[in-house]
Structure 1
Amino acid sequence: MHPPSRRTFLALGLLTALTACTADPRGDRPAGPGPTRDPDTPVRLRAIAATDLLLGAYDNLLTVPGAQTALLQPLRDDTVQHRAALVQGLPTASPSPTSTPYRSLPTLPELALMEHRTAEAHLHDLAEVSPALARLLASVSASNALHAAALGDQTPITTPDAATGGTPATAAAAVPALQTALSAEHAAVYGYGVVGAHLPDDAQRADARTTHAAHQAQRDAWQRLLTTLTAAPTPAAGGYQLPFAVTSPTDATKLAVHLETRLTTAYADLLTTVPAPYRLPTATALRESTLRARRWGAPATPFPGIPG
């Protein structure tokens, strides 16, 4: 293991299937096991239906003379990619997704609210689906939250209550992933100390202070969770190697983008390994880093945390 001074941010780049048993139609013997049902399919269909409503709303708005095409078209393009990714996981024998067309002409605030509510809806089934779909839904939800913010919605995304805990075996299995999340936040706290030190005493430095405090709070939350699982939280390293030299406000802003973007990837990856009861707080952390990365100037992406 490298000594603490060599630890690098780059290293952080970081239902059981139901069997249908039915009675024989003649009533004289039970039928054999039926086909295995994929728990992801109904969740995908619901997510596709919500996405189709968004696409209909975008299409309606884009037909209006003088529509804000420069704002709306990239968001619609992201939504098309969301739908393609959600459809890709459907079994070939699944019924075709259906949705109710959005027939009225929404205002921008109404469209922002639709994006906001879709971001929330994608998080309701995280504990019930496969790890791969949980990662995709959390990423798409973060993108929907970005869209809502771009359209003017500044209200926080409300998430379902996180039912963390589970069996002792589940809790024990969560420890490695939660330690990874904690290490990522230790690095972010260190990094924002550097960011703030190289920004002028203006609104940007105030933003850096606020973000630094947010990462301290997230670090503390992971530490408390690990403590409840009777695991000793991993301490912060004595120092972290930066990905590049920071000597100016421009470098500091670039570092902030790097920190948040790397965190989105780390949290998206964790969603494929963290046990189901711990997916929601991980998805929440992914969304918050996505929003912060965008505020610092990161380019928009339809799938935050999922490169390519």
Structure 2
Amino acid sequence: MSSASPEASTLDALQTTLAAEHAAVYAFGVLGGRTSSSASPDLFTAVSSAYAAHRARRDHLVRELTEAGAEPVAAEPAYDVARPLDTPTQVEQAALALERSCATTYAYLVASTTGDQRRWAIDALRETAVRELVFRGTPETFPGADEHADR
């Protein structure tokens, strides 16, 4: 039997998700610097939109953790970002991999929360799964559950 309380488990899941969002914000910032609004306007818009969505989620998670009395996990100084990023296709592939990783994290958060937090996590998972399609991913029956992936 686990000694961790349900509240601790939820806080751990929120911290894990916040850490993933810190990485996503960093990575989408890098990807945004590798896109061009004139040469690849659709990709530029998609990456910019993803960056804004991940920043908003990160900020929401910081508020949730702070309101719960926890110290939000800090961002790392830097994160590994897929390379090379010399073509729009490579940027798109990196963005897709990043969204898939976030979907996995949000599926974990859904499983670890209840009530309003779970509803928020489900919305974030759904939005992430839809964004995968923008980056040429395939629809998944169970987004974020790699063991049940349709691909």
| TM-score normalized by the length of structure 1 | 0.43
Alignment of 1:171-182 (within 5 A): 171-182=7-18
Q: Work out the number of aligned pairs and report it.
A: 139
Provide the residue aligned with 2:88 in structure 1. 249
The two structures, once aligned, show a CA RMSD in angstroms of 1.6
Residue 42 of structure 2 corresponds to residue 203 of structure 1: yes
Instruction: Tell me how far apart the structure 2 counterparts of residues 271 and 211 of structure 1 sit (CA, whole Å).
Output: 20
Instruction: Tell me how far apart the structure 1 counterparts of residues 60 and 139 of structure 2 sit (CA, whole Å).
Output: 28
Q: Does the 8 Å CA contact 2:46/2:134 hold for their aligned counterparts?
A: no
1:142-190 Cα distance to aligned partner (Å, 9 max, x none): xxxxxxxxxxxxxxxxxxxxxxxxxxx6544421110011011111101
Provide the residue aligned with 1:218 in structure 2. 57
Cα deviation for residue 305 of structure 1 reads: 1.1
Cα deviation for residue 247 of structure 1 reads: 2.2
Q: Does the 8 Å CA contact 2:13/2:109 hold for their aligned counterparts?
A: yes
SS at 2:84 equivalent: coil
Instruction: Tell me how far apart the structure 2 counterparts of residues 298 and 215 of structure 1 sit (CA, whole Å).
Output: 18
Instruction: Tell me how far apart the structure 2 counterparts of residues 232 and 301 of structure 1 sit (CA, whole Å).
Output: 34
The amino acid of 1:254's aligned partner reads Q
Q: Does the 8 Å CA contact 1:194/1:252 hold for their aligned counterparts?
A: no
The amino acid of 2:114's aligned partner reads A
Instruction: Tell me how far apart the structure 2 counterparts of residues 306 and 209 of structure 1 sit (CA, whole Å).
Output: 26
Instruction: Tell me how far apart the structure 2 counterparts of residues 184 and 261 of structure 1 sit (CA, whole Å).
Output: 12
Q: Does the 8 Å CA contact 2:22/2:58 hold for their aligned counterparts?
A: yes
Alignment of 1:1-40 (within 5 A): none
Task: Note the residue ranges of structure 2 that are not aligned, 5 or more in a row.
Answer: none
Task: Note the residue ranges of structure 1 that are not aligned, 5 or more in a row.
Answer: 1-168
Cα deviation for residue 301 of structure 1 reads: 1.9
SS at 1:234 equivalent: coil
Instruction: Tell me how far apart the structure 2 counterparts of residues 224 and 236 of structure 1 sit (CA, whole Å).
Output: 15
1:36-94 Cα distance to aligned partner (Å, 9 max, x none): xxxxxxxxxxxxxxxxxxxxxxxxxxxxxxxxxxxxxxxxxxxxxxxxxxxxxxxxxxx
SS at 2:77 equivalent: coil
Instruction: Tell me how far apart the structure 1 counterparts of residues 101 and 9 of structure 2 sit (CA, whole Å).
Output: 24
Larger Rg: 1
1:1-41 Cα distance to aligned partner (Å, 9 max, x none): xxxxxxxxxxxxxxxxxxxxxxxxxxxxxxxxxxxxxxxxx
Deviating 4+ runs (over 6 angstroms):
none
Cα deviation for residue 300 of structure 1 reads: 2.0
SS at 2:43 equivalent: helix
Q: Does the 8 Å CA contact 1:171/1:229 hold for their aligned counterparts?
A: no
Alignment of 1:87-236 (within 5 A): 170-201=6-37, 202-236=41-75
Q: Does the 8 Å CA contact 2:107/2:145 hold for their aligned counterparts?
A: yes
The amino acid of 1:212's aligned partner reads Y
| TM-score normalized by the length of structure 2 | 0.84
Instruction: Tell me how far apart the structure 2 counterparts of residues 190 and 170 of structure 1 sit (CA, whole Å).
Output: 30
The amino acid of 2:27's aligned partner reads G
How high is the sequence identity, in percent, across the aligned residues? 34
Q: Does the 8 Å CA contact 1:265/1:306 hold for their aligned counterparts?
A: yes
Instruction: Tell me how far apart the structure 1 counterparts of residues 107 and 8 of structure 2 sit (CA, whole Å).
Output: 21
